Structure 1
Amino acid sequence: MRKVVCLLFSCLLGGMSAVNAQHARKHILWFDATANFQRFSVKDSIIYYLDKSKDAGITDVVVDLKPISGEVLYPSRIAPVMNEWAGVKKDGSFDMMTVFIAEAHQRGMKVHASTNVFVAGHNHMDRGVVYSDPAKAKWQTLSYLPEGMTPITQQKNKYSAMLNPARKDVQQYELSILKELVKMYPQMDGIILDRVRYDGITADFSDESRKLFEKYNKAKVKNWPADIFSYGTGEKPARVEGPLYKKWLEWRTKVIHDFVYEAKAALKKINPQLSYGDYTGSWYPTYYEVGVNWASKTYDPAKDYPWATDKYQQYAYAEALDLFTTGNYYYEVTKAEAAAINNQSIEKRGEAGQGKGKEDFYTVEGSAELVNKLVKGKAPVYAGLYVDQYKGHPEQFVKALKMCRAHSDGAMIFDIVHVINMGWWDELKRGLNE
């Protein structure tokens, strides 16, 4: 029976490989900046873990060079440099990214830089650009909560101090960092943008956003913010949509769409061979809450979702990408397991815009299928896993990896720190090779 199951799964992998033959098969491993700060402040440690990654079947590594604090891990002249984290000081005798690129290339692996774009502060540590630079403190997003307008640095239940993506000064600052990074490392294979989005549905309600929206809508908002939405009464007041709610969603999505295309043009001008990538969540039915339409422009969400306007389709951006990796962050792997989703699984969904339902797309298989359906082959898709969700369940992790390979162009694993801490190198190798 086991041989039959393995044969069927091999056929499934082979079939998907044939379908996605136009896209390169990749197994991508993420190296988070702060979680691995001490580990990758040592050159020998970088080499050791690249060897481990290569042996497991990893083809591409993603080095996080701009974590949520807005500081960077390379010698920038624009952004503050992170030379210390959690009491650990970085060894300044070598450049981490230069070592990553040289050593990975020697092993036949590709290297991408990751940058957290529209965020510049760590709320749990009161650290980062919006905390240390008074001139940039005004860039933080202003949230419309039931208790009123609240700057995100005052929302200590959230660790990311997100910025207002609509502000032109924010966009130009973040773009200048991206351009500097690409110029500094011409041998780098790619860049993957992260947090190119709004904080959530409650953001951003600053005066700047109101003015920009009014310009887009070509009319003043008479009742602010009630014409966008308001709150009902009760212990957990629900949002009540206003007459401009859908238009507001449309405009926010245009903001993100335009930045994605502007950044691509600027970075490709510097390095035409650069792989231009993006990371988002896979939960498209609720991802409008963060102002992102990662689908293909050939897909019309207005036919399927009540929150989409007729113009929402225009602000899709899959066609802009050379690489698209998604968070298929669910413990349940197969669609058949959706019926078994319990409150414990739902409580683990802490990502922005992630819903609480039990539909098929709240599984690894279902979410991967949905992403491919909406991207329509316009960009290679790499289904991603959050390793920590499988803690104590190594076989479920292996099963999830195989599912990512079966239903996308490979797999993305976040993060190496969890593989190290749980000692799951054999499980990683099995999931990527069996």
Structure 2
Amino acid sequence: MKQTLPETANILWVDFLANGQRLAEHSEQVRLIENAINSGVTHLIIDAKVPYGQTTYPSKFAYHISSWSDGSYQMWEGRNFLSEFLSKTKGLDIQVLANVDVFSEGIATSRDGLAYDKKDWQVKFYNEVVSNESNAAEYADAATIFVNPIHPEVIDHELNIIKEMCAYDLDGIVLDRCRYPNVYGDFSDLSRSNFEDYIDKKIPNWPEAIYTIDEEKKVQFGKYFSLWTEWRALNIKKFVHRAREVVKLHNPDFLFGNYVGSWYPLYYNEGVNWGSETYQPESDWTSDNYSVSGLAEELDFIMTGCYYPEVYIEEAVNNKRPENWYSVEGAVDKSLEVINGSIPVVGGLFLKDYKDNPEQFKKAIQMCKGKSKGVMLFDAVYLEDYKWWNILPTELKDTKHVK
């Protein structure tokens, strides 16, 4: 049966790293599912591959989550989270999508993950090229190790994982971390030669022709930066296209979605153009042809993380945020502008932004449901920690804010 988003989708993300120890108890899996259904949740997203590359099911291609050397998930040894969870939702009025953290394959703290077995897979960073200093983290305090999205072995590996996931009785597949880690990667010889082929030109002053970093550690765009952003975004689009082919070949009715940050004007850092092919941004980092890299049309729907404590644009202005889209309202507006009606957009919320402020959380839900195709809540662990399950039935089932 073909799966489509309902008029308003109430999506709850269940991050395995945050919930996996608790959900090792079968009774906790049942309780989560019952709470979700009673709260009006229409879709659950569960992790099949976590941000450090391990799978929550036994894979022919990846390490199992129980193999993590610090022993955090040893209780899952010999077990299959996907099959256990799906067996408990069978026949119930809720859809389950599996998430794959695509281009993240290791954790720096314990040095677990395939990125350490396959060091040539790892993203090579700008500073490693110019001064032997790494920019390895996706953000300042992250430990995630990313791999190069254009490395042929990496592409094959990630597609094999997605193919394995499709064998489960799911309602769809969601991509996350389907991107570069940040603006500093990848500057490997492979990326250089591929980019030079793309522009049909050799670049003698590499990587400074792409950009330089000033004394304040700010990126100063170089001659080829706009073409570089176009090329990187096309690399991600090409992978998403191939992933879609894998999913739809297995089951044309599977939902195929992507999870991205809503901060589109800054998302060139991650090398992704999640907008529509019909949307051409006008920024100092965009090429004249940047719209060709838009990947929205490859998807059935997209979730954009509207991760701001300010709900209304007016709040962002009052708090002297640099742009209106530093608010849930502004972020949803920007997402709708960029997607340009091509696919459904679901606004996502980071529940930690509303800790000790349940009224603001309610307003954020209402904003997403009023402006977008629904709401995505990240993550289930905060509903447990803040004891907020009781908030959801009224907010998720209330249709007065749905347009």
If the length of structure 1 is used for normalisation, what is the TM-score? 0.85
User: Deviation of residue 22 (structure 1)?
Assistant: 8.8
Return the alpha-carbon distance in structure 1 between the equivalents of residues 137 and 296 of structure 2. 34
SS in 2 for 1:106: coil
Q: Summarize the alignment of residues 287-326 of structure 1 with structure 2, pairs less than 5 Å apart.
A: 287-301=267-281, 304-326=282-304
Q: Give the aligned partner of residue 327 of structure 1.
A: 305
- CA deviation after TM superposition for structure 1 residue 296, in Å: 1.0
Q: Which residue does the alignment assign to 2:251?
A: 271
Query: How far apart are residue 374 of structure 1 and its match?
Result: 1.6
2:338 aligned to which of 352, 361, 374:
374
Cα separation, 1, equivalents of 2:390 and 2:22: 20
SS in 2 for 1:34: helix
Aligned AA for 2:150?
Answer: A
Q: Cα distance 1:245–1:425, how it changes in 2: closer, same or farther (>3 A)?
A: same
Q: Deviations over 1:391-428 (max 9, x none)?
A: 11111111101111011011000000011011111123
What does residue range 123-162 of structure 1 map to in structure 2 within 5 Å? 123-131=108-116, 133=117, 136-145=118-127, 148-151=131-134, 157-162=141-146
How far the C-alpha of 1:386 sits from its partner, in A, is: 0.5
1:35 aligned residue: 18
1:140 and 1:51 map into 2 onto residues whose CA distance is 41
Check conservation: 2:126, 2:135, Cα contact below 8 A: no
AA of the residue aligned to 2:152: K
Is the contact between residue 115 and residue 146 of structure 2 (CA under 8 Å) also seen in structure 1? no
Query: SS at the partner of 1:332?
Result: coil
Change beyond 3 A, Cα 1:242–1:79: same
Offset at 1:145? 3.5
Question: How far is the alpha carbon of 1:137 from its aligned partner?
Answer: 1.8
1:59-98 per-position Cα deviation (integer Å, ceiling 9, x unaligned): 1000011111101000111111112665442345753212
Which of 96, 100, 108 aligns to 2:85? It is 100
Taking the TM superposition and a 5 Å limit, the aligned residue runs for 1:11-410 are 24-83=7-66, 86-91=71-76, 95-131=80-116, 133=117, 136-145=118-127, 148-151=131-134, 157-183=141-167, 185=168, 187-233=169-215, 236-301=216-281, 304-341=282-319, 357-410=321-374
The SS at the match of 2:126 is strand
Aligned-partner residue type, residue 240 of structure 1: Q
Distance 1:291-1:144 versus aligned 2 partners, 3 A rule: same
**SS of equivalent residue, structure 1 residue 362:** coil
Q: Hey, what does 2:384 align to over in structure 1?
A: 420
Please state how far the C-alpha of 1:152 moved relative to its aligned partner: 5.4
- In the TM superposition, residue 153 of structure 1 has moved relative to its aligned partner by 5.3
Does the 8 Å contact 1:328/1:384 carry over to 2?
yes
The answer to whether the 8 Å contact 2:48/2:165 transfers is no
State how far apart, in whole Å, the 2-side matches of 1:56 and 1:42 are: 21
Q: CA deviation at 1:177?
A: 0.9
1:306–1:88 CA distance, 2 compared to 1 (3 A): closer
Cα distance change, pair 123–93 in 1 and its aligned pair in 2 (3 A)? closer
1:146-180 alpha-carbon deviations (Å, 9 max, x no partner): 97344455898322111111222211111111111
On the 8 A contact 1:27/1:59 being kept in 2, the answer is: yes
Which residue type is aligned with residue 161 of structure 2?
Answer: I
- Structure 2 unmatched runs, 5+: 399-403
Q: Which amino acid in 2 is paired with 1:217?
A: I
Partners of 1:189 and 1:415 in 2: CA distance: 20
Structure 2 distance, partners of 1:151, 1:238, is 16
C-alpha displacement of 1:372: 1.1
Q: 1:164 & 1:149 partners in 2: Cα distance?
A: 18
Q: Which segment is superposed worse, 43-52 or 147-156?
A: 147-156
Partner Cα separation in structure 1 for residue 294 and residue 8 of structure 2: 24
Q: CA deviation at 1:114?
A: 0.4
Residues 295 and 154 of structure 1: CA distance in aligned 2, closer, same or farther (over 3 Å): closer
Return the alpha-carbon distance in structure 1 between the equivalents of residues 147 and 43 of structure 2: 29
Q: Percent identity?
A: 35
Which amino acid is the alignment partner of residue 29 of structure 1?
L
Compute the TM-score of the two structures, normalised by the length of structure 2. 0.92
Bigger CA drift: 91-100 or 210-219? 91-100
Maintained 8 Å contact 1:114/1:191 = yes
Letter in 2 for 1:98: S
Task: Give the Cα separation in 1 of the matches to 2:110 and 2:305.
Answer: 25
C-alpha offsets along residues 199-253 of structure 1, whole Å, 9 cap, x if unaligned?
A: 11111111111111111111111101111111223xx233222211111111101
Q: Is the 8 A contact 1:140 1:153 kept in 2?
A: no
In the TM superposition, residue 101 of structure 1 has moved relative to its aligned partner by: 2.1
Q: Hey, what's the Cα distance between the residues in 1 that align with 2:289 and 2:150?
A: 18
CA distance in 2, matches of 1:79, 1:42: 24
Given that 1:247 and 1:309 are in contact with CA atoms closer than 8 Å, whether structure 2 keeps it comes out as: yes
